[in-house]
Structure 1
Amino acid sequence: MLAAERREHLLDLLARTGKIVAKDVAADLGISEDSVRRDLRDLAAEGLCQRVYGGALPVSPAVVDYGARQAVGPDGKRKVASVAAAMVRPGSSVILDGGTTALAVARALPKELACTVITHSPTIATALIDHPRAEIFVLGGRVFKHSAVTCGAAAVEAAQNVSADLCLLGVTGVHPEAGLTTADADEAAMKRALSARAADTYVLASSEKIGTASPYRVLPWEDVTGLITDADPRDMVIDQLRALGVEILAAQ
């Protein structure tokens, strides 16, 4: 099989099954695992897959810069945001992560809702300025411009001194095996710090993130309360997550 044919085979397998296991592909095609791994490196360099131990997973489309992400799946983000905003009760405190879905949550909060919002996103804080009864606490640190949030040691330390009823967490990848992932190591650490300070953590995941992975793990499934998504309830990945005991909140 020519290299171009192997490439098409790998991409087709990834689209059909949601993952590539290098040793299985090597056995099926009668080639070495090294050849498969080289092909996967080339595909990953082109942004066509996310390499993981033993193979590859679909790459998340949500790893582009903040401006470009606002055009990715806006309807799905609004549906997820509507469900998430309804979870913020009067008088409660919520840690609201950064990102475009979290921004949609901020915009979906009722204007007169009395609550406390803790965030490391200047964009989220600005969106809530015209909510007269919302107390806003911004966690400071180095601004990670890709996602318009603060990260780093100072931001993590600030997060360790707050607590909340609820954390609404954004990620770029949602996969049964890879768990919850994002594209930057410091951002992943900040998300873990935020989640650890809330009684409950729900993940905001519009459908384009389901079944995909990014380089850095945020949390395993056992550390979150549930997942809010507009993905088809019959989606294979959603079924796999339910089998793992993950609570799925449908945003339809």
Structure 2
Amino acid sequence: MLASQRKQIILELLAREKQVLSSELSQKFAISEDSIRRDLRELAAEGLLQRVHGGALPVSAAIAPIETRKNVQNRSKQNVAAKAAKLIQPAQVVMIDGGTTAHELVMRLPKDMAFTVVTHSPGIAVSLVDHPLVEVIVIGGRLFKHSVVTVGSAMIDAISHINADLFFMGVTGIHASAGFTTGDYEEACVKRALSQRAAETVVMASDEKMNAASAFAIGPLSLASTLVVDSEPDMALRAAFAEQQIEIL
């Protein structure tokens, strides 16, 4: 079998099973694990999968630049944001992540409700200027231009003084074994730190992020208390969330 044929079968298996293991692929194709690892390296270099220890996972489509992401799964993001906005109650302190789904959330926030928003996204902060009853706290730091959010030690130190009711967290991948992931190491650290400062973390995920993974782990699925999605997760992912007692909206 040609290497190109083998790679195509690997991608088909990955799409169907949501995970492939090097040892199992080695047995299936009757070749060494070194050869399989080379296949996986080459497929990863083409952006077709995400390598992990022992195998590979589907790669997330949500790691493109923000201008590109604005045009990905727009209807799904809008549906997710509409559901998420209903979780906010008067007088709460709410942390809102950056990202395109978060921007959809802000567009659906009620203008007649008084509550506080804490954000490290300049774009989110500016979008709340015309909400007269919303107090906005902007967390500064180094601007990570890919996602247009602040990161760094100054940002982490600032949020250590905040106790929020909710954190609306954006991710680029959700997978039963890989947990919540994103495409940048420092951004993963920031998301993890924000989650630790909130009583509840709400993960908002449009369809392209389900059963996918990126290079950097934010944390396990247990990091979230609620998952807001547009369509029903598959059985394996539902079981993983049920095991952690995470509500799916």
TM bin (shorter chain): over 0.9
Letter in 2 for 1:133: L
Query: In the alignment, does 2:228 pair up with 1:228?
Result: yes
Please report the TM-score for the alignment, with normalisation by the length of structure 1: 0.96
Task: Check whether the contact 2:180–2:217 (CA below 8 A) recurs between aligned residues.
Answer: yes
Query: In the alignment, does 2:32 pair up with 1:32?
Result: yes
Shift of 1:206: 1.0
SS of the residue 1:125 aligns to: helix
Alpha-carbon distance in 2 for matches of 1:248, 1:50: 27
1:206 matched residue in structure 2? 206
Alpha-carbon distance in 1 for matches of 2:151, 2:45: 26
1:194 matched residue in structure 2? 194
Task: Check whether the contact 1:221–1:246 (CA below 8 A) recurs between aligned residues.
Answer: no
Letter in 2 for 1:43: L
Query: In the alignment, does 2:68 pair up with 1:68?
Result: yes
Shift of 1:237: 4.1
Alpha-carbon distance in 1 for matches of 2:209, 2:117: 25
2:243 matched residue in structure 1? 244
Matches within 5 A, 1:113-192: 113-192=113-192
Shift of 1:93: 0.9
Q: What does the per-residue CA deviation read over 1:184-239, in whole Å, with 9 as the maximum and x for residues that have no partner?
A: 01000100111111111111111110000000000112222121111225x23433
**Runs of 4+ off more than 6 Å:** none
Shift of 1:243: 4.2
Task: Check whether the contact 1:142–1:150 (CA below 8 A) recurs between aligned residues.
Answer: yes
SS of the residue 1:61 aligns to: coil
Shift of 1:246: 4.3
Task: Check whether the contact 1:91–1:114 (CA below 8 A) recurs between aligned residues.
Answer: yes
Q: What does the per-residue CA deviation read over 1:138-174, in whole Å, with 9 as the maximum and x for residues that have no partner?
A: 0000000000000011111111111211111011000
1:5 matched residue in structure 2? 5
SS of the residue 2:161 aligns to: coil
Shift of 1:83: 1.2
Shift of 1:111: 1.4
Query: In the alignment, does 2:95 pair up with 1:95?
Result: yes
Letter in 1 for 2:248: L
Please report the TM-score for the alignment, with normalisation by the length of structure 2: 0.97
Task: Check whether the contact 2:222–2:246 (CA below 8 A) recurs between aligned residues.
Answer: no
Shift of 1:240: 3.3
Letter in 1 for 2:46: E
1:105 matched residue in structure 2? 105
Alpha-carbon distance in 2 for matches of 1:205, 1:65: 17
Q: What does the per-residue CA deviation read over 1:55-104, in whole Å, with 9 as the maximum and x for residues that have no partner?
A: 00000000000110111111111111111111110111100011111111
Task: Check whether the contact 1:98–1:170 (CA below 8 A) recurs between aligned residues.
Answer: yes
Task: Check whether the contact 1:26–1:33 (CA below 8 A) recurs between aligned residues.
Answer: yes
SS of the residue 1:130 aligns to: coil
